[in-house]
Amino acid sequence: KTSKVQYFNNPMWPGEAHSLKVENILYQGKSPYQEILVFESSTYGNVLVLDGIVQLTEKDECAYQEMVTHLPLCSIPSPKSVLVVGGGDGGVLREIARHASVENIDICEIDQLVIDVCKDFFPQLSVGFKDPRVQLHVGDAVDFLRNAPEGKYDAIIVDSSDPIGPAQELVEKPFFQTIARALKPGGVLCNQAESMWLHTHLIQDMLSICRETFKGAVHYAWTSVPTYPSGVIGFLLCAKEGPAVNFLSPVNPIEKLEGAMEAGREIRFYNSEVHRAAFVLPTFVRRELESH
């Protein structure tokens, strides 16, 4: 009853395959953009798979959703307006909701079916959609950002899948330029940035695009997600020129977040020390990323 949810010939991780034991298949479908699978695993809770790639499991999703959200939002004093690109499962929305200073949350997700499926099978993530500050836009984020007003957002979080499907355009320079334009001065971007073990060329390319596009700080951070290939995932933290941002020391302490329990669920992974540690890089990563 085991199922290979990743396959050996995925160009993102050639020669690797990842397996989780399947108890029950809960949903199988195909949207105009991707194949969608939800199954109940033996040890990781429910699992969401898009085009054969694990997106999240109930057991370890807290690591990714909390880090991709709080690394940027805890780095600026009082975020008010936030945009999520992707994130149709609602987990990032759940985490943003913890920030009492936030007044408006736009989310642009291309695939309505992902939203509908997650509302059925991942209630502790899709709870994020219930927050009254959330405005849902179903469509292509490239168009959304091209038409976004200049300087609207304090923070933009790109919670994308891998750049080999609908998310392909989300790692190209024009997209980052529209992000920079939509940010306020001193505004911050946090982008899903793949694995230091598998994707340093892609990370180098994204880093050089971001260093050209964002004149403030640009840093790579990473965390542990056991069900992602190589067991880690990275984040690119970029600040637009303007009020200085120091990603390495959170100005918006976790204690404040604990108070604002809008999400009705305690934080399980992120804290101020984990925040600081996320930016500490192994030697081979420092060498490969700083040499470009």
The residues that are catalytic are 159
Label residue 45 exposed, middle or buried (CB < 10 Å: 0-12, 13-18, 19+): middle
Binds ligand JFQ by CB under 6 A, chosen from 95, 106, 154, 159:
159
**Is 86 within 8 Å of 60 (Cβ atoms)?**
no
Number of residues that bind ligand JFQ (CB under 6 A): 13
* CA–CA dist 31, 42 (Å, integer): 27
Work out the number of other CB atoms within 10 angstroms of the CB of residue 185. Answer: 11
The answer to the question of residue 245 lying near ligand JFQ (CB under 6 A) is: no
Minimum separation from the CB atom of position 33 to ligand JFQ (A): 14
- Residue 162 lies near ligand JFQ (rule: CB under 6 A): yes
CB closer to ligand JFQ out of 178 and 227? 227
Contact 10, 52 (CB under 8 A): yes
Output 29 or 77, the one with its CB closest to ligand JFQ. Answer: 29
64 contributes a contact to ligand JFQ by CB under 6 A: yes
- One residue of 55, 69, 126, 227 binding ligand JFQ per CB under 6 A: 55
Question: Rounded to an integer, what distance in angstroms lies between the CA atom of residue 143 and that of residue 169?
Answer: 11
CA distance 201 to 208: 11
129 binds ligand JFQ (CB under 6 A): no
| Least spacing, CB of residue 13 vs ligand JFQ, in Å | 8
Minimum CB separation of residue 241 from ligand JFQ in Å reads: 28
Residue 91 contacts ligand JFQ per CB under 6 A: yes
- What string marks each residue from 205 to 234 as x (binds ligand JFQ by CB under 6 A) or -? -----------------------x----x-
Q: For residue 2, list its beta bridge partners.
A: 21
Stretch of 85-93, 106-114, 132-140, 183-191 lying at the interface with ligand JFQ (CB under 6 A): 85-93
Q: Is 126 in the site for ligand JFQ (CB under 6 A)?
A: no
Residue 111 contacts ligand JFQ per CB under 6 A: no
Instruction: Give the interface with ligand JFQ as residue ranges (CB under 6 A).
Output: 53, 55-56, 64, 87, 89, 91, 159, 161-162, 192, 228, 233
